[in-house]
Amino acid sequence: MRWRILSLLFLARIGLGFQFQTVASVGGDLVVAFGLDYVDIGFLIGLFMAPGLFLAIPAGYWGRYVSDRVMVVFGLSALAAGGAASSLATDSWAIGMGRVFAGIGFLFTSLYFTKMVADWFEGREIATAMSILVMSWPFGIAMGQVGHAWLSQTYGWQVPFQAASVYCLIAALGVFLFYRPPHDLPYADGGKRGAMTTQEWRLILCAAAAWGVFNAAYVTYLAFGPKVLEDHGQSAIAAAGIISIGSWIMIFSGAACGQIVDRFGGRNIVLAVCMGGAIAALPLLSLPGAGFGASMLFGLIGMAPAGVIMAMAGQAMRPQVRAFGMGIFFTVYYAIMLVTPPVAGAILDATGNARGPLWLAMILFATVVPLGIAFQFFKYAPLTGQEKTV
């Protein structure tokens, strides 16, 4: 049953990446239609993430009173409504408002999809399950990269937003009709048992920081890796294609990595090896003719533990407090994701060299390992008397 539920959630979660990719795919058309520049396009892309910084904790708290299924259906419906609003826009600010509303839906769905998988797979192949779930995001983006550009060219820039909205509505209907919670899930009541312990706070902060720096490094690679290749004479299209190889490969390497950790353990050893691969891949981009190999290494090894890191969030808390804890998790994640791109851009402005931001990415990847070690230390540290009674 749990694998059928995971398949349902994977298919539904594709809609997040599919809707996110709309502005990036039709950015050139929006520049022409509304007289924007690419700073404006970047701002519109970023608006998708903005609500998470402010609403993640309230969204997690509301989970004590509203079912996960209702939360996800609301989130997918908000994604659909936001995309529809953007498609009807006659001015750029209206597109932005649609993106903000879609971003609210993105927050709710991201939080509760993760919680649902943690509830179903706690103690049973959770790293594999999280790896599969996480890969729905690049899968949706890849669908958008292929489909949105064609739809925009054939039917106009509005249609990609509408197509993504229809997908999200179908996904919402599917979750509403077919999702069921596990039968043995404890009720999230109040009182002492509804409050996070000191250990759970430490664990979720470690997991959130690891997930945040890992994704911030990945986004820095996607944003500035192509510029490094362009400095070696690659065209913009060819450079983007080479960098995208890593994202395609990680769809498969991520599931394999999760299976390895579930079967054999050794999460921190896997993290150390994979982060070493990610760090090694970034300088390789600077070597003439090594871009393809660097991207292969990055996707096959460096990005493989995405689900393993996400699984730490599910292992950090009891089911009774998992919704609220996920709110903490995503607040930290959004804060790191908000700060990192401007810092990377400032490094590029200061150095005038596209390799500068990649050094920041290397530092961020390296930080994942000590955070994983800290998570394991807090997980198995002796509990205090207060925590034993909670």
Count how many domains the chain has: 2
Mean pLDDT of 168-193: 77
Question: What pLDDT, on the 0 to 100 scale, is given for residue 184?
Answer: 62
Let me know whether 118 and 240 are in one domain.
Answer: no
Confidence of residue 277 (pLDDT cuts 50, 70, 90): very high
Question: What pLDDT, on the 0 to 100 scale, is given for residue 186?
Answer: 56
Let me know whether 335 and 227 are in one domain.
Answer: yes
Report the candidate in 298, 291, 257, 253 with the shortest Cα–Cα distance to residue 277: 298
Q: Is residue 336 part of a domain?
A: yes
Question: What pLDDT, on the 0 to 100 scale, is given for residue 1?
Answer: 83
Q: Is residue 389 part of a domain?
A: no
- Taking the C-alpha atoms of residue 220 and residue 216, their distance in angstroms, rounded to an integer, is 6
Question: What pLDDT, on the 0 to 100 scale, is given for residue 191?
Answer: 45
Let me know whether 213 and 82 are in one domain.
Answer: no
**Segments forming the whole domain that contains residue 136:** 2-180
Question: What pLDDT, on the 0 to 100 scale, is given for residue 42?
Answer: 67
Confidence of residue 38 (pLDDT cuts 50, 70, 90): low
Let me know whether 27 and 156 are in one domain.
Answer: yes
Q: Is residue 388 part of a domain?
A: no
Let me know whether 207 and 163 are in one domain.
Answer: no
Let me know whether 218 and 136 are in one domain.
Answer: no
Let me know whether 233 and 129 are in one domain.
Answer: no
Question: What pLDDT, on the 0 to 100 scale, is given for residue 190?
Answer: 47
Question: What pLDDT, on the 0 to 100 scale, is given for residue 119?
Answer: 86
Let me know whether 164 and 204 are in one domain.
Answer: no
Q: Is residue 166 part of a domain?
A: yes
Q: Is residue 390 part of a domain?
A: no
Question: What pLDDT, on the 0 to 100 scale, is given for residue 389?
Answer: 37
Question: What pLDDT, on the 0 to 100 scale, is given for residue 379?
Answer: 85
Q: Is residue 186 part of a domain?
A: no
Number of Cβ within a 10 Å radius of residue 187 = 9
Let me know whether 218 and 280 are in one domain.
Answer: yes
Residue 344 has pLDDT above 90, yes or no: no
- Taking the C-alpha atoms of residue 229 and residue 218, their distance in angstroms, rounded to an integer, is 16
Question: What pLDDT, on the 0 to 100 scale, is given for residue 39?
Answer: 67
Query: Which of 112-116, 164-168, 186-190, 258-262 bottoms out in mean pLDDT, i.e. has the lowest?
Result: 186-190
Which of 180, 202, 230 is the last residue before a domain boundary? 180
Let me know whether 302 and 172 are in one domain.
Answer: no
Residue 158 has pLDDT above 90, yes or no: yes
Residue 179 has pLDDT above 90, yes or no: yes
Q: Is residue 175 part of a domain?
A: yes
Residue 59 has pLDDT above 90, yes or no: no
Q: Which residues contact 276 (CB under 8 A, 6 or more apart)?
A: none
Residue 296 has pLDDT above 80, yes or no: yes
Which of 139, 154, 180 is the last residue before a domain boundary? 180
Let me know whether 215 and 150 are in one domain.
Answer: no
Mean pLDDT of 145-168: 89
Q: What is the pLDDT of residues 79-135, one digit of tens each?
A: 999 999 999 998 889 999 999 999 999 999 988 998 899 888 877 788 888 888 988
Let me know whether 12 and 88 are in one domain.
Answer: yes
Mean pLDDT of 47-75: 87
Q: Which amino acid is at 99?
A: R
Q: Is residue 96 part of a domain?
A: yes
Which of 120, 146, 180 is the last residue before a domain boundary? 180
Provide the CATH number for the domain around residue 172: 1.20.1250.20
Confidence of residue 274 (pLDDT cuts 50, 70, 90): very high
Query: Which of 24-38, 105-119, 257-271 bottoms out in mean pLDDT, i.e. has the lowest?
Result: 24-38
Question: What pLDDT, on the 0 to 100 scale, is given for residue 384?
Answer: 61
